[in-house]
Amino acid sequence: MKRRNFLLLSSVAASYLLTGNFVMLSSLHASTTNNDDNEDYFTAPLSIPPLLEGKSIDGVEHYDLNIQKSKHSFFKNILTNTYGINGSYLAPTLKLVNGKKVSINYTNKLDESTTMHGHGMHLPAKMDGGPHQTIQPNKTWSAKYTVNQKACTNWYHSHAEGKTAQQVYKGLAGFIIIEDEESKKLDLPKRYGKDDIPLVFQDRFFHKSGDFYYQPSMMQTMMGYNGNVFMTNGVVNPYIDVEAKELRLRLLNGSNSTMYNLKFNDNRAFKQIATDNSFLEKPVSMNSIILSPGERAEIIVDLTNSYGNSFYLGDAIQNKIFVKLNVSKKAMTKTKLPSVLTKLEKYDESEAIRTRSFTLSAMRGRVFINNKIMDMHRIDEVVPLNQVEIWEVSNKRMMSMDHNFHIHGTHFMILERNGESMYVDENEAGYKDTVYIPAGESVKLILKMTDYKDEKLPYMYHCHFLEHEDRGMMGQFIVS
């Protein structure tokens, strides 16, 4: 695929992209002010997804969502054809509370079928929103369940059979924030959009028309469809004005298949406080964090002494910027990060009833789990309810191809990487639902399916590099 096929917009937009969006992380000053030479690159305010709280009807919180075609302005004077949920691109953030009954009502106004998966949600298989819960055009499907998990940052996105990658690329994704009594008591930033900021990171190609360019070659399908325009919350080169205090950032790698190593341009330290599905027991100090597609993390960065300065959050792998943060406001509130966040229930490996093995591999443009391609009519595993299990997942070294592994309906902990517990990083010690597995490496996971069984409708496990998922790197299991 040649460069001339995309990014040939108007001369103004092309210049904007080639200068603004290609600013390198290493070229920026360690600490900059509002007079910084790079100021003009970051002129678009960061969009904060609207927070949608449920409408209470007979003890059930209802969330009404329209999946629709639209047009979105990523570049000045150019409109891109997109998909959105209650908007032109991406979706509102759903705020759920543990123990509350919910009905999340999705109406499909597209010209094609879709689904809407609650990624990271612990719920019955029939409410999972996977490829079996299809929403036909002009139809409404409701995910009805009682929220039943600890506080965390999840997300929802299309999971349509064979169409997940393209529909997510067009914009069908949004955050789900779960709160519980424990999270409410912690002295953490909680003012949504002010000191508690959701950030979904994505990369895209654009056609000369201004539309998304989604035509992955065979090599890009296998190795990753990695776009050259970076965006945060659907905005290219955004800035946000924040207060000089502790700032909570909820990070989501919402890309189709790009790995990100997220860090600040001045290499400042931050504290990771949460993984995919739970708080960490204690904050972990870091300078960078690697997220594969679908993974989430919550971090706290202390800006108390940074008033009047600006800095940048970017990806050290591609060496590009996602967002500029201007510390231009005085603190309206104060928080102090606790030294202890939670106590997690942990299963012991000696409790495991069985071990299952999964090998991720590829050959001749096809991708496999245990040498099988996804079949909607085949159940690959039967997992008993309430039994602790070990799942060993290995990424067979093929073309140096990275993968990750996502399990629906539950969470797990990582016991080992490459046969050793010492290789599991401290910031991976919380509950997760998606784990990164580089080429030639393996992980050992411990999990237990609880609360919900269904002899007919399955959950999925799959690589969350979306082109791999669509090409068949996915399996199905029922809970019996």
Q: Which domains does the chain have, with CATH numbers?
A: 1-341 (2.60.40.420), 349-479 (2.60.40.420)
pLDDT of residue 21: 46
- Exposed e or buried b per residue across 173-211, where buried means at least 16 C-beta atoms within 10 angstroms of its C-beta: bbbbbbbbeebeebebbeebebbbbbbbbbbbbbbeebb
Phi-psi region of 37 (alpha: psi -120 to 50; beta: other; left: phi over 0): alpha
Q: What share of the chain is helix, strand, coil (3-state, %, to 5)?
A: 10, 45, 45
pLDDT of residue 464: 98
Residues in the chain: 480
Cα–Cα distance between 176 and 173 in angstroms, integer? 10
Question: How many other CB atoms sit within 10 Å of the CB of residue 159?
Answer: 29
Low-confidence ranges of the chain (pLDDT < 70): 1-40, 398-399
pLDDT of residue 40: 61
DSSP state of 114: B
pLDDT of residue 23: 60
Let me know: does 395 contact 418? Beta carbons within 8 Å. Answer: no
User: What 3-state DSSP class applies to 307?
Assistant: coil
Strand-pair category, 152-157 with 173-179:
antiparallel
375-431 residue pLDDT tens: 999 999 999 999 999 999 999 876 678 999 999 999 999 999 999 999 999 999 999
- The separation between CA 296 and the C-alpha centre of its own chain, rounded to angstroms, equals 5
Q: Which of 19, 13, 22, 18 is nearest to 318 (CA)?
A: 22
Cα–Cα distance between 145 and 102 in angstroms, integer? 6
Q: What is the DSSP string of 260-278?
A: EEEEETT---EEEEE-SSS
Q: Which of 96, 81, 84, 90 is nearest to 46 (CA)?
A: 90
pLDDT of residue 25: 66
Q: Which residues pair with 62 in a beta bridge?
A: 55, 103
CA distances from 275 to 81, 99, 267, 384 (A): 33, 21, 21, 26
pLDDT of residue 396: 86
Instruction: For Cα atoms 200, 168, 237, give the angle at the middle one, nearest 5 degrees.
Output: 40
| Cα four-point dihedral sign 401, 449, 99, 128 | positive
Q: What is the DSSP string of 149-215?
A: S-SEEEEEE---TTTHHHHHHHT-EEEEEEE-HHHHHS-S---BTTTEEEEEEEEE-BBTTSSB---
Cα–Cα distance between 364 and 371 in angstroms, integer? 13
Q: Which residues pair with 288 in a beta bridge?
A: 263
Q: Which residues pair with 206 in a beta bridge?
A: 212
CA distances from 202 to 130, 142, 228, 470 (A): 22, 28, 10, 18
**Which residue's structure tokens are 């690697």?**
290
Cα–Cα distance between 127 and 122 in angstroms, integer? 10
